[in-house]
Amino acid sequence: MLLTASEGRHWRYEVCEHADGYLVQMRDLETGDLDEEFSTIFRTLPVAFAYAEMSAAYERYAASELDVVEDEQIEIDVEATERHFIDLSDRLHDGGINGVAVQAWEREKQRGTVRVLH
């Protein structure tokens, strides 16, 4: 279930419920496709929210740099969201786990136990 989303210039960072916590995934605003390589799972909802906000702010900042747009508010947003994420992550001891790693663990679990006889 989608809980919230933060939009950058080209991507939307969605926070969804996940069996292991809260998943932050990246969706292309133009096509609606998910980026399979970008996903992170957090144990706590506040940290997942902060990560999505920080990711969207970074993307807006990077886009403004490429377009040579002078907007101090974009830079202030990046700094504020980064500080907020780091503070929450440190206090709640939740640095997140890369979603690709979680998928690999689940595939390994499904394979079952392999016994090697010598």
In a domain, residue 70? The reply is yes
Asked whether the beta carbons of 58 and 4 are under 8 A apart, the reply is no
Position 114 confidence tier, pLDDT thresholds 50, 70, 90: low
> What is the mean pLDDT of the segment spanning 90-106?
87
In a domain, residue 111? The reply is no
- Domain span including residue 65: 2-96
In a domain, residue 13? The reply is yes
Position 71 confidence tier, pLDDT thresholds 50, 70, 90: confident
pLDDT value at residue 80: 96
Phi and psi, residue 47, nearest 5°: -70, -40
pLDDT value at residue 113: 67
The amino acid at 50: A
Residues contacting 76, CB < 8 A, separation 6+: none
Q: For the chain, what is the domain count?
A: 1
Q: Mean of the per-residue pLDDT values for the chain? A: 90
In a domain, residue 62? The reply is yes
In a domain, residue 112? The reply is no
Asked whether the beta carbons of 51 and 39 are under 8 A apart, the reply is no
Q: Kindly state the tokens that stand for 99.
A: 């979603």
In a domain, residue 8? The reply is yes
In a domain, residue 84? The reply is yes
pLDDT value at residue 78: 93
